[in-house]
Each structure stands twice: as structure tokens, then as C-alpha cells.
């Protein structure tokens, strides 16, 4: 029986996959990438009957983080991640939100920056932190080895990879991150991406046109 539960809540005009992850044993939860539409996130939290302890950010783009500061205030949850190299993006949230139609945005000051090899915890669950720059300099991936689950933000998508034409993006670095950090996790690992459907490492290794 799985000890991890997850619900995906698409938020913002970008249909960003905000993900509520919780430990079934303790009902303690983390909200990953609360980019906005907090009423929808709150509805999922209430339905799951969980207590939110943590807010985890995969990277600093506005559609992933614009609701984090407000959710922290409401839930008294600690913001962890991304890597410090996305600081410039977290300070630019309010300025960029208006232009893309995201309401109630706030800049973000994480309670904890994450480094490659760090671990984050919620309830009895532990996720390994993988620093995967390329889409943004400070992108991180959250990987639960026991549950074979990785939450990858905009590093890797079903059939595609993250854009690298934003400030701080680097296509070669992104491919290196995917090859060196994600593919070795194993073909059986389930992937929740920042946008679009879920997939697996194995499916992307075999069919993703950017990885052939």
C-alpha cells in the first residue's frame, strides 16, 4: 500500500500543475508550486483532510510561485526551495504577474534554500533534492525513492522538455540535468511535470524526441 498520496490542481492561465502531496500515515501535506488560484488549492486541501506543513517550490517562475507567500500566511507553512540561483526570479514575481494575468501575486522569500543532495520531509515522507538547472538556474526536482515518484517542475514534460529562452535558461545545461540527474532514477519512476500529463522516466527515455 502506498504511503504517499498526491492530487494535481491545475492553476493560473498556464494550467500549472500545483501538486498536493501528503503522508497517508500522518495526514501531513506539502503544496508544491502554488502558483495561484488558491481557492482551488484550499478546496483540494479540505477534501483531502490534511494539514499543510510545507510549501515546496521547484523554481522561481511566476506561474509556480505567485501564491506561495499568501498560502504560507494562511497555513503557517514553511517555504522550502528552490535553489538560491532563482532568487532573481522570486524578487520579480509581482512585476511579472500582471503581464500574464495572475492575480494576488507576491514576491517570495523562502525559509530554506535547497542544494543538490538535500532532503525535505513531510510527515514520514522524505524527498531527495536534485538541482537541475537549465530551464531556470535554480530549478530543483523532488524525488521520493521509496515511492518511485519525482516532481520535476518544468525540467521534463511528457514528450518535451522545459523552455530555455527565458532569462537564465540554458538548453545544453538542461539536457545535461535530465541525462545526469533524472534518467538514472530508473524507468519505473513516475513523473509529475509542471504542465501537462504525468509520465514515467522509462517512457521519456524511449520516446521523448529531445532525448534521442
Neighbours of 197 (CB within 10 A): 12
- Spell out the alpha helix ranges (H) of 101-182: 171-177
Nearest Cα to Cα of residue 125 among 200, 186, 53: 53
Residue 193's Cα: distance from chain center in Å? 8
Q: Shortest gap between Cβ of 90 and Zn ion (angstroms)?
A: 13
Can you tell me the distance from the alpha carbon of 122 to that of 147, in angstroms, rounded to the nearest whole number? 14
Residue placing its CB nearer to Zn ion in the complex, 63 or 85: 63
Residue placing its CB nearer to Zn ion in the complex, 34 or 194: 194
Can you tell me the distance from the alpha carbon of 155 to that of 139, in angstroms, rounded to the nearest whole number? 8
Residue placing its CB nearer to Zn ion in the complex, 35 or 123: 35
Nearest Cα to Cα of residue 170 among 123, 132, 208, 211: 132
Residue placing its CB nearer to Zn ion in the complex, 54 or 59: 59
Q: Shortest gap between Cβ of 79 and Zn ion (angstroms)?
A: 17
Q: Shortest gap between Cβ of 14 and Zn ion (angstroms)?
A: 6
Residue placing its CB nearer to Zn ion in the complex, 110 or 194: 194
Q: Shortest gap between Cβ of 25 and Zn ion (angstroms)?
A: 31
Give contact residues for Zn ion (rule: CB under 5 A): 61, 63, 154, 194
Q: Shortest gap between Cβ of 78 and Zn ion (angstroms)?
A: 22
Can you tell me the distance from the alpha carbon of 136 to that of 186, in angstroms, rounded to the nearest whole number? 24
Can you tell me the distance from the alpha carbon of 124 to that of 152, in angstroms, rounded to the nearest whole number? 21
Amino acid at each position: 500500500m502506498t504511503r504517499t498520496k498526491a492530487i494535481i490542481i491545475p492553476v493560473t492561465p498556464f494550467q500549472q500543475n500545483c501538486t498536493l502531496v501528503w503522508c497517508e500515515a500522518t495526514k501531513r501535506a506539502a503544496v508544491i508550486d502554488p502558483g495561484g488560484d488558491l481557492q482551488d488549492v484550499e478546496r483540494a486541501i479540505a477534501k483531502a483532510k490534511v494539514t499543510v506543513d510545507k510549501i515546496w517550490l521547484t523554481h522561481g517562475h511566476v506561474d509556480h510561485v505567485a501564491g506561495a507567500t499568501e498560502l504560507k500566511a494562511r497555513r503557517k507553512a514553511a517555504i522550502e526551495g528552490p535553489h538560491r540561483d532563482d532568487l532573481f526570479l522570486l524578487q520579480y514575481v509581482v512585476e511579472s504577474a500582471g503581464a500574464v494575468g495572475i492575480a494576488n501575486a507576491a514576491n517570495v522569500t523562502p525559509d530554506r534554500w535547497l542544494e543538490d543532495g538535500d532532503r525535505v520531509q513531510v510527515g514520514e515522507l522524505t524527498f531527495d533534492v536534485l538541482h537541475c538547472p537549465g530551464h531556470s538556474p535554480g530549478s530543483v526536482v523532488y524525488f521520493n525513492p521509496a515511492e518511485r515518484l519525482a516532481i520535476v517542475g518544468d525540467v521534463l514534460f511528457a514528450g518535451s522538455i522545459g523552455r530555455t529562452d527565458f532569462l537564465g535558461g540554458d538548453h545544453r545545461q538542461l539536457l545535461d540535468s535530465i541525462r545526469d540527474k533524472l534518467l538514472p532514477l530508473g524507468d519505473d519512476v513516475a513523473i509529475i511535470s509542471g504542465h501537462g500529463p504525468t509520465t514515467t522516466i522509462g517512457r521519456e527515455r524511449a520516446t521523448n524526441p529531445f532525448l534521442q
